[in-house]
Amino acid sequence: MRYIYKYVEQDLKKKMVFIGGSRQVGKTTLAKTFLETADHSGRYFNWDYSRDRRDLLDEKWHSEDTLLIFDELHKYRDWKNWIKGIYDTFQDSKQIIVTGSARLDVYRRGGDSLLGRYHYWRLHPFGLDEIPNKMTPKQAFERLMTVGGFPEPFLDGDERAARRWRRERIDRVLKEDVRDLEAIRQISLLDLLVHQLRRRVGGLIVTSNLAGEIQVAPNTVSNWIEVLERMYLLFTVRPYSTNLPRAIKKPPKIYFYDNGDVAGNEGVVFENLVATQLIKKIHLLEDRDGYRYDLRYIRDKEGREVDFVIVKEGIIEELIEVKYGDEKVSRHLQYYAEKLNPPKVTQLVATLQHPFSSGRINITDPLSYFCSK
């Protein structure tokens, strides 16, 4: 059972539930799980299937159905008004799940607001906080580093099959999802941008440099990165600053939801893995508890940098530095620990054998850090 199942089950008793996340992350499987329980009977509709699409628009479901699942409904231009009408009409007799491979909470297509009618959940790939039965934490870590955490390649564990699966998935995201939802015609250039970003994971993303490489305007690169974020292909980590306008102007960092998308050495892959685990944790806390969280990095004019900063309601909660094999405590982490005095300071080392402390800094391995969360 996936990690958000029990929370979705609780929310369904009060409102609609929207489940967003990357293509093939397991949204449909999770939603259909509810139809397999004794508490629910109903029907699943897939907007991409023509017969389901006709039945959906004609409202062809049984009067005794208690659960309706609408998959990829956001591809319907007027989906927000349509689902609002369905919910307002049937809220006393039907529970409703809407799933989609784009950010349903911000997607602009559609008219009337759905505010107050739904709870939104983001589903992430498997990780060290969600290890399937019969798989050890060490095995899970090795698979996350090689094939990524998406259900099919992660559970299969075959690197060759994972490479084929990944190429097909990115191809479908760019040529189907983006085509259906965004006014982008230069898909080949967008594909080239993705290729370039895969090689820049963890580095500062300067849009003017990327624009020159793929021969488009810098604003186009920025807009395309936002599109890829809405498609849950990647996410940005922006600099921490108490001056928001200044932070927005500084270059972000890019990380991929699929750890297997990263083109880099094991240190870069590990940093991306940590980023995906942290954003998964933050999204869960936001969706479950309603707090505002941000994942940031910190860097000053002298080049002192810490990889990740967890910010809760505008207040720093934890500093996290990532190292693959270096157990020596980061001087930059020490500097910011003293300067900012956050509640927690952590240095994660992939190959660390025995966790230890150095002053306020906990030096630990990813299994100890994430598996106990």
Confidence (pTM) = 0.93
Look at residues 241, 261, 242 and name the one whose alpha carbon lies nearest to residue 252.
241
Q: Identify the structural domains of the chain with CATH numbers, from first to last.
A: 5-122 (3.40.50.300), 137-371 (no CATH)
Per-residue pLDDT, 55: 96
Separate counts of helices (H) and strands (E) for the chain: 15, 13
Q: Stretch 168-179: mean pLDDT, rounded?
A: 91
CB atoms within 10 A of CB 175: 14
CB atoms within 10 A of CB 66: 15
The CA R_g of the chain, rounded to the nearest whole Å, is 21
Q: Are strands 16-20 and 118-122 parallel, antiparallel or unpaired?
A: parallel
Per-residue pLDDT tens over the stretch 223-233: 999 999 999 99
Residue 154 corresponds to which amino acid? F
Edge to edge, the sheet with strand 16-20 lists 42-46, 67-71, 95-100, 16-20, 118-122
Per-residue pLDDT, 336: 95
> Could you tell me the two tokens for 372?
């106990």
Look at residues 141, 125, 78, 74 and name the one whose alpha carbon lies nearest to residue 102.
74
- Rounded to whole angstroms, the Cα distance separating 36 from 41 reads 8
3-state SS assignment for residue 344: strand
- Name the residue with tokens 């939603």: 31
Q: CB-based contacts of 341: which residues, under 8 Å, 6+ apart? A: none
Per-residue pLDDT tens over the stretch 183-214: 888 899 999 999 999 999 999 999 999 999 99
Per-residue pLDDT, 1: 80
Q: CB-based contacts of 310: which residues, under 8 Å, 6+ apart? A: 278, 282, 293, 294, 295, 296, 316, 317, 318, 320
Per-residue pLDDT, 113: 73
- Name the residue with tokens 């370039």: 196
Four-residue CA torsion sign, 29, 259, 331, 242? negative
Per-residue pLDDT, 372: 64
- Rounded to whole angstroms, the Cα distance separating 83 from 110 reads 10
- In which band, very low, low, confident or very high, does the pLDDT at 106 lie, cut at 50, 70 and 90? low
Per-residue pLDDT tens over the stretch 45-94: 999 999 999 999 999 999 999 999 999 999 998 899 999 999 999 999 99
pLDDT of 182 over the 90 cut: no
Q: Percent of the chain, pLDDT > 70? A: 95
Per-residue pLDDT, 110: 45
> Could you tell me the two tokens for 242?
């108490």
Edge to edge, the sheet with strand 253-256 lists 253-256, 234-239, 293-299, 305-312, 315-323, 344-349, 361-364, 356-358
Paired residues of 127 in beta bridges: 130
Look at residues 257, 251, 252 and name the one whose alpha carbon lies nearest to residue 272.
257
Are 271 and 325 within 8 A, CB to CB?
no
What's the start-to-end Cα distance of the chain, in Å?
A: 18
pLDDT of 111 over the 80 cut: no
pLDDT of 245 over the 80 cut: no
Kindly report the backbone phi and psi dihedral angles of residue 18, in degrees, each rounded to the nearest multiple of 5, phi listed first: -100, 135
Per-residue pLDDT tens over the stretch 293-340: 999 999 988 989 999 999 999 999 999 999 999 899 999 999 999 999
Q: CB-based contacts of 224: which residues, under 8 Å, 6+ apart? A: 184, 190, 193
Average model confidence (pLDDT) across the chain? 92
- Rounded to whole angstroms, the Cα distance separating 340 from 319 reads 9
